[in-house]
């Protein structure tokens, strides 16, 4: 029994040493990769990390997704970001990361799906609310866009971008009174703003 305890202890110590060595190696490779990225050498930054296993490694998948995006290899970038999403479904940073290469290849439905999923996880996320609002606005779905911009304006009344977009939504849905208030609010945030002034000219 005593011999078995010693064997078990030796095994645990050996595993611990290997784990520490692996972590130190990963840290060194990540550090080397950051240096390569700063130098603009994205292929080297990717190569620095290729010896590491991506299985169950969320930081590595995020990192490779970013580096492949910088090197304009968008399909590869999406693959790594989607792996990161699968590893941590409630981590919105991976979804925001994935939106970049998806936007680059103009895969707008998938961009939209990611924003919707982000808002399911974090309903008050101002970035997702804003850009999803822009997508609906561009499709002339002003009522849906208005709801998204309104969330932001309630949270950040001095956020010019959300205020001006909400103002245009209100104008396009026939709510001229609300639009006028918002255009004037936009002018307080950004005096002489051309978009706000042009919106006020349309209100009789």
Q: What is the pLDDT of residues 24-37, one digit of tens each?
A: 578 999 999 999 99
Q: Pull the structure tokens for residue 89.
A: 């479904």
Question: Which residues fall within 8 angstroms of residue 101, CB to CB, at 6 or more apart?
Answer: 65, 68, 69, 74, 75, 77, 78, 81
More confident residue, 8 or 113: 113
More confident residue, 14 or 33: 33
- What number is the average pLDDT over the span 147-173? 98
**Residue 14, pLDDT score:** 40
C-alpha to C-alpha distances, 51 to 28, 47, 54, nearest whole angstrom? 12, 8, 9
Give the lowest-confidence range in 36-50, 166-180, 189-203. 36-50
- What number is the average pLDDT over the span 146-162? 98
How confident is the model over 35-65, as pLDDT tens digits?
999 999 999 999 989 888 888 999 999 999 9
**Residue 2, pLDDT score:** 58
Q: What is the C-alpha separation between 103 and 109, in angstroms, rounded? A: 10
CATH homologous superfamily of 124-204? Tetratricopeptide repeat domain (1.25.40.10)
């Amino acid at each position: 029994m005593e011999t078995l305890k010693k064997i078990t202890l030796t095994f645990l110590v050996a595993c611990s040493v290997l784990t520490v060595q692996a972590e130190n190696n990963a840290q060194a490779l990540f550090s080397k990769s950051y240096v390569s990225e700063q130098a603009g050498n994205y292929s080297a930054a990717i190569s620095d990390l290729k010896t590491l296993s991506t299985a169950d490694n969320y930081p590595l998948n995020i990192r490779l997704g970013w580096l492949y995006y910088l090197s304009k290899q968008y399909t590869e970038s999406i693959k790594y970001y989607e792996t990161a999403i699968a590893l941590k479904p409630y981590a919105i940073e991976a979804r925001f990361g994935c939106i970049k290469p998806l936007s680059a290849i103009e895969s707008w439905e998938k961009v939209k799906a990611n924003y919707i999923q982000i808002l399911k996880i974090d309903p008050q996320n101002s970035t997702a609310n804003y850009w999803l609002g822009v997508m609906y606005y561009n499709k002339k779905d002003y009522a849906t866009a208005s709801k998204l911009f309104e969330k932001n304006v309630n949270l950040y009344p001095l956020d010019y971008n959300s205020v001006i977009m909400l103002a245009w939504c209100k104008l396009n849905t026939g709510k001229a009174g609300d639009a006028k208030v918002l255009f004037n609010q936009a002018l307080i945030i950004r005096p002489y703003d051309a978009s706000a002034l042009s919106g006020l000219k349309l209100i009789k």
